[in-house]
Chain A
């Protein structure tokens, strides 16, 4: 099931992510974080974690090293 999530992230990467180039302030980047999260925690919890990470990835946050725990 997690393959669906990983596939969606890749779909984003090769389409919109490539069209609107941007770099992430976190390490690993948001999309890599989403892949790791879905792999480790499953589709539902992983997606929630990825969504929360995206919200944190705003101009007011400091970024930094933040892997899936």
Chain B
């Protein structure tokens, strides 16, 4: 075990030092308490990731617009999961959809998470003189370096974690597959037992990042329908040619009946945003 921890520790120590440096800066220079330094660190990371997430949310909305057609493909290849995935990917390509999910934005958070984990563990080990100041958070967590369940406040934090994780899944689970969505919703209930052993500060990081996700989801949902209706404009804009090529593929035949629907109203531009919103809701149900 010690060999494994040695092998793991060598590439991970720089991450720990980096996280600690940022925390130190936020605490000593900016003057935040330790717990709020973690919140601030989280916010900084998420702010850096905004361009990635905004793009991701846009793709998610275009996925939801195409949900009915995708469901049809799923039904068609119910037995063969592999074939189903391949057909879905083909459909994305033909319709110029970028699947919302991607591994990179999630992986960017991995080093931060690891760095924070190790520096919080060090907080518990090192003499208190190295981190002068209060380690408590909002009077209900006595120390962010202790195990989450070492105080009743930790349990409150865990409940908030489960709630926020479920809410963020609701916004960001980049899949229309019902089973997968349910799985993602149930996951925090299982992982709460793992997380209970983590330092409270790490759970704080989690809760903050989840709440950020929820806030971001709410804001972009508000803002996006106000921009010129993407579904209508996409169909008429220069992006159409690749889609037309794909129509020969067989799946492309489906979008056709959808486009005549909005056409009865000539001034589509003003009514369009409402339409998009309705379609999205239908997709989510």
Cβ of A62 within 8 Å of any chain B Cβ, yes or no, is yes
Per a CB cutoff under 8 Å, which of B59, B169, B183, B191 touches A59? B59
Cβ of B155 within 8 Å of any chain A Cβ, yes or no, is no
How distant is the Cα of A38 from the Cα of B55 in the complex, in angstroms?
31
The answer to whether B106 touches A58, judged by C-beta atoms less than 8 angstroms apart, is no
User: Is the pair B98, A54 in contact by a Cβ cutoff of 8 Å?
Assistant: no
Within 8 A of A (CB), among B141-195: 169, 173-175, 180, 183-184, 187, 191, 194-195
Distance between Cα atoms of A34 and B101 in the complex (Å): 17
Nearest chain B CB to A14 CB, angstrom units? 10
Contacting pair A25 B98 (CB below 8 A): yes
Say whether B107 contacts A54, CB under 8 Å: yes
A residues contacting the other copy or chain, number (CB 8 A) = 24
Main secondary structure of the interface of B (DSSP, over half): helix
- Inter-subunit contact A55/B104 (CB<8 Å): yes
A51 → B minimal CB distance (Å): 10
Asked if residues A22 and B174 are in contact (CB atoms below 8 Å), the reply is yes
Pick the contact of B104: A20, A23, A54, A62 (CB < 8 A): A54
* Chain B residues with a Cβ under 8 A of chain A: 52, 55-56, 59, 82, 85-86, 89-90, 92-93, 97-107, 109-110, 113, 169, 173-175, 180, 183-184, 187, 191, 194-195
Q: How far is the CA of A63 from the CA of B94 in the complex (A)?
A: 12
B98 touches which of A27, A29, A30, A62 (Cβ 8 Å) = A62
* A61–B173 alpha-carbon span in the complex (Å): 18
B85 touches A27 (CB 8 A): yes
How distant is B15 from chain A, measured CB to nearest CB, in Å? 13
- Tell me the smallest distance from the CB of A26 to a CB of chain B, in Å: 8
- Among A18, A23, A55: residue with most chain B CB under 10 A: A23
CB of A8 to closest CB in B, whole Å: 10
Residue of B nearest to A58 (CB): B104
Distance from B106 Cβ to chain A, minimum over Cβ atoms (Å): 5
> Is A59 within 8 A of B93, CB to CB?
no
Bound-state CA distance A16–B89 (Å) is 26
Contact between A23 and B92 (Cβ–Cβ < 8 Å)?
no
Report the minimum CB–CB distance from A59 to chain B (whole Å).
4
B174 to A, closest residue via Cβ: A23
Chain B min CB distance to A5 (Å) = 14
- A60 & B55 in contact (Cβ 8 Å cutoff): yes
A19 touches B102 (CB 8 A): no
Q: Is the CB of A59 within 8 A of B105?
A: yes
Q: Which of A19, A22, A55 contacts B101 (CB 8 A)?
A: A22
Complex CA–CA separation, A43 to B98 (angstroms):
30
| Nearest A-chain residue to B177, judged by Cβ | A23
Is the beta-carbon distance between A22 and B106 smaller than 8 angstroms?
yes
Question: Please, how many angstroms separate the alpha-carbon atoms of A23 and B102 in the complex?
Answer: 7
The answer to whether B191 and A24 have CB atoms under 8 Å apart is: no
Roughly how many angstroms separate A43 CA and B48 CA in the complex, as a whole number?
32
Q: Which residue of chain A has the shortest Cβ distance to B190 in the bound complex?
A: A18
Given contacts A18-B187, A19-B191, A65-B89, contact A54 B105 (CB under 8 A): no
Residues of A within 8 A of B110 (CB): 16
The answer to whether A27 touches B89 (Cβ under 8 A) is yes
Given contacts A18-B187, A63-B89, A64-B89, is CB(A23)–CB(B101) below 8 Å?
Answer: yes
A57 within 8 A of B: yes
Tell me whether A16 and B98 are in contact (CB under 8 A): no
How far is the CB of B268 from the nearest CB of chain A, in Å? 28
